[in-house]
């Protein structure tokens, strides 16, 4: 159970905050007057009766400079806590807030649903820092699983597989999954998740976000299922500004904060993909049931083998499977020399879900494509280790 300590005299903000917690989160809010911002950290935290404080929230009516001072003291003395500021600070105040250790900014007019997501994010950050022993050293951090979803050529449903994989993993690790659109010119993650991101990867690899993981989290977009997303640039020309080194730093930051990092990469073997594979724990190759796609995978695997960039976790997804193509799963496996782990049958439900911007795994249906995508997500469930090692040949119906 989480304990939220709220400093405010604004009844409307308190009401919406309580609505965000009630019946939706395991936790309680303890409100104290806004003038408590002038207390010392020790005196402040003694006001929270009962369980230890997890999140300190400064209401919109709290004096801004006093809040920055107290936040800095809390960051130095209680670095495990998450401090959140409600307000619309000016650009220069955002830098001051970051330096003071304020972890997130809340819109004072946000509705309870938005506030709930912010509180969940703050609680996860507190829990993560406490697991690290409170010292925040990178050596003590447990890195999340980095899953690169790749394809030798476009048009094989790679983004559909990546977004459904992220949604499926979100059931195993609620609020612990982030998907990154690394198709930097023509990525479709935002469309596939039906989100309109305020920030993109261009913002994330420059400025304060590249130096502070908590600032980076503020640049992420959360979809309706609780999956975090870092979407591709709005302008394709911005792809030339993002280097492979910046992508590598970004992945390392996210892997330190999330249990699963799903990377929707661009087709082919570009420099960004090579940087990804140096950190990836798993590679998911998506191919279609056609000869050019299979040949492309063969060529790609040969190059990556020479470069020694094939991750330990290897997963092959055969998408758009249809027996009428003249190929069988056995033909595909014989050609690529490795097993096909997941076969996603050709289905009308998939393009329908894509056009709606609703990943198939969020739908109530349980048809063939749904079951296959669900099976792919379960391959990454820690409790399924024994089953993951088994390979059973799929049959296309």
Diameter over CA atoms, the chain? 75
| Of 51-55, 146-150, 273-277, minimum mean pLDDT range | 51-55
User: Where does the pLDDT of residue 292 fall: very low under 50, low under 70, confident under 90, or very high at 90 and above?
Assistant: very high
Of the candidates 67, 124, 123, the one whose C-alpha atom is nearest the C-alpha of residue 97 is 67
Lowest mean pLDDT among 29-43, 64-78, 132-146: 132-146
- Where in the chain is CATH 3.40.50.2300? 2-131
In sequence order, what are the residues at sequence separation of 6 or more whose Cβ sits closer than 8 angstroms to the Cβ of residue 55? Answer: 2, 3, 4, 5, 81, 82, 83, 84, 119, 122, 123, 126
Q: Of 164 and 154, which is predicted with more confidence? A: 164
Identify whether the C-beta of residue 37 lies closer than 8 Å to the C-beta of residue 67. yes
List phi, psi (to 5°) of 19. -65, -30
Number of helices (H), then strands (E), in the chain: 16, 13
* pLDDT band for position 297 (cuts 50, 70, 90): very high
Write down the pLDDT at residue 2: 60
Mean of pLDDT values over 263-274: 91
CATH number of the 145-388 domain: 3.40.50.300
Average pLDDT over every residue of 96-117: 87
pLDDT given at position 322: 86
Residues 344, 329: Cα–Cα separation, whole Å: 11
Give the pLDDT score at 50: 56
Higher-scoring residue by pLDDT: 383, 293: 293
- For 56, counting Cβ atoms within 10 Å of its Cβ (0-12 exposed, 13-18 middle, 19+ buried), the class is buried
In this prediction, residue 131 has a pLDDT band, given cuts at 50, 70 and 90, of low
Q: Is the pLDDT of residue 385 over 90?
A: no
CATH architecture for segment(s) 2-131: 3-Layer(aba) Sandwich (3.40)
Res 149 pLDDT > 90: yes
Cβ neighbours, 10 Å, residue 23: 6
Q: Which residue has the higher pLDDT, 367 or 49?
A: 367
Q: Which pTM was predicted?
A: 0.66
Q: Over 80: is that where the pLDDT of 212 sits?
A: no
Cα distances from 22 to residues 1, 28, 81, 83, 122, in angstroms, run: 12, 8, 21, 20, 17
Mean pLDDT of 346-375: 89
Lowest mean pLDDT among 51-55, 210-214, 313-317: 210-214
Looking at residue 141, its pLDDT comes to 44
- Model confidence pLDDT, tens digit, residues 38-50: 999 888 887 765 5
Q: Is 337 helix (H, G, I), strand (E, B) or coil?
A: coil
Percent of the chain scored above 90 by pLDDT?
A: 39
Q: Using CB atoms within 10 Å of the CB of residue 154, give its burial: 0 to 12 exposed, 13 to 18 middle, 19+ buried.
A: middle
Q: How far, in Å, CA of 19 to CA of 92, rounded?
A: 32
Domain ranges in the chain with CATH number 3.40.50.300: 145-388
Predicted confidence (pLDDT) per residue in 180-205, tens digit? 999 998 889 999 999 989 889 998 88
d(CA 9, CA 98): 24
Q: What is the pLDDT of residue 51?
A: 63
Q: Which of the residue ranges 144-158, 182-196, 213-227 would you say has the lowest mean pLDDT?
A: 213-227
Is the pLDDT higher at 79 or at 38?
A: 38
Q: Is 163 exposed, middle or buried (0-12, 13-18, 19+ CB in 10 A)?
A: buried
pLDDT band at residue 397 using 50, 70 and 90 as cut-offs: low
pLDDT at 105 over 50: yes
Mean pLDDT, rounded, of the chain: 85
């Amino acid at each position: 159970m989480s304990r939220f300590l709220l400093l405010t005299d604004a009844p409307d903000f308190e009401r919406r905050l309580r609505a965000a917690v009630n019946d939706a989160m395991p936790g309680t809010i303890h409100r104290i007057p806004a003038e408590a911002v002038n207390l010392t950290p020790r005196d402040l935290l003694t006001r929270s009766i009962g369980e230890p404080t997890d999140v300190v929230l400064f209401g919109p009516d709290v004096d801004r400079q006093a809040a920055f001072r107290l936040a800095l003291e809390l960051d130095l003395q209680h670095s495990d806590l998450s401090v959140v500021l409600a307000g619309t600070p000016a650009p220069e105040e955002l830098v001051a807030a970051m330096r003071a250790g304020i972890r997130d900014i809340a819109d004072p007019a946000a509705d309870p649903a938005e506030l709930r997501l912010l509180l969940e994010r703050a609680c996860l950050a507190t829990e993560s820092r406490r697991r690290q022993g409170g010292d925040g050293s990178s050596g003590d951090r447990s890195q999340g699983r980095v899953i690169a979803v790749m394809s030798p050529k476009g048009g094989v449903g790679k983004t559909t597989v990546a977004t459904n994989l992220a949604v499926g993993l979100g059931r195993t690790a609620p609020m612990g999954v982030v998907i990154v659109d690394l198709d930097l010119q023509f990525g479709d993650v935002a469309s596939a998740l039906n989100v309109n991101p305020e920030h993109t990867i261009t913002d994330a690899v420059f400025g304060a976000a590249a130096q502070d993981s908590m600032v980076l989290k503020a640049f992420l977009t959360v979809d309706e299922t609780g999956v975090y997303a870092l979407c591709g640039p709005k302008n394709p020309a911005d792809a030339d500004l993002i280097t492979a080194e910046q992508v590598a730093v970004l992945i390392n930051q996210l892997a330190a904060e999330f249990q699963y990092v799903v990377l929707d990469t661009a087709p082919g073997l570009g420099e960004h993909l090579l940087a990804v594979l140096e950190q990836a724990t798993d590679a998911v190759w998506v191919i279609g049931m056609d000869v050019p796609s299979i040949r492309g995978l063969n060529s790609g695997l040969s190059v990556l083998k020479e470069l020694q960039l094939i991750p330990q976790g290897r997963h092959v997804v055969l998408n758009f499977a249809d027996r009428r193509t003249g190929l069988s799963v056995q033909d595909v496996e014989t050609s690529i020399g490795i097993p096909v782990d997941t076969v996603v049958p050709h289905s009308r439900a998939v393009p329908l879900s894509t056009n709606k911007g609703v990943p198939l795994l969020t739908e109530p249906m349980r048809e063939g494509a749904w079951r296959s995508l669900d099976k792919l997500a379960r391959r990454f469930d820690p409790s399924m280790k024994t089953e993951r090692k088994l390979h059973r040949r799929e049959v296309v119906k």
